[in-house]
Amino acid sequence: MAGYRIGALAGRTGTNAATIRYYEEIGLLPRPDRREGNQRCYGEDDVRRLTFIRRCRDFGFSIEQVRTLVSLVQDRSRSCMEARDLAQTHLSAVQVKLRELAALEKSLVQFVAACDAECAGGPGPDCCILDDLSGTMKPAAGCCGTGLP
């Protein structure tokens, strides 16, 4: 009946207690009631709100974007289309990042494979892979050549 203390809220939402206090400080969470001993006391609304916030953060929205999203939830007179647009913008950024990361993964796989193939013997001072890394342009004449890492 007495509501949750910060640890319980933290547990229910998978959030660090210090992060909850931080969100309060930056105004992303409202100041909660306090009990006798000055400890924060949260209710279901706080659970919902923090769940929402964490979910948005997990999906890569910035704090400022989350702030906007929260205000959209608060103020229904504005269209949910604003949320849609925000999501769309974010989606585009995610897709770019996704492509970059996929390219990175490919390069890393090649780098590791090249290492395994060429340098398997161990600590050879002749390893050219590290040269590759610092090479500016020269195609490293038939060695590894992954352009990695």
Partner DNA sequence: ATACATGTTCAAGTAACTTGAGGTTCAAGG
Partner DNA sequence: CCTTGAACCTCAAGTTACTTGAACATGTAT
Interface residue list for DNA (CB under 7 A):
5-8, 10, 16-19, 21-22, 35-40, 57, 62-64
Q: Cα(107)–Cα(113) distance, rounded to whole angstroms?
A: 10
40/21 Cα distance (integer angstroms): 10
Does 142 bind its own copies (CB under 8 A)? Our answer is no
Give the one entry of DNA, its own copies, none that residue 96 binds, where binding means its C-beta sits below a cut-off of 5 to 8 angstroms depending on kind.
Answer: none
DSSP state, residue 89: H
Q: Is the peptide bond between 123 and the residue preceding it cis, with omega within 30 degrees of 0?
A: no
| Shorter beta-carbon distance to DNA: residue 40 or 114 | 40
Provide the minimum distance between the beta carbon of 8 and its own copies in the complex, in angstroms, as a whole number.
14
Binder to its own copies among 83, 140, 143, 145 (CB under 8 A)? 83
Note whether 149 and 111 are within 8 A (CB). Answer: yes
Instruction: Name the DSSP class of 121.
Output: T
Q: Which is nearer to DNA, 79 or 89 (CB)?
A: 89
Cβ nearer to its own copies, comparing 34 with 60: 60
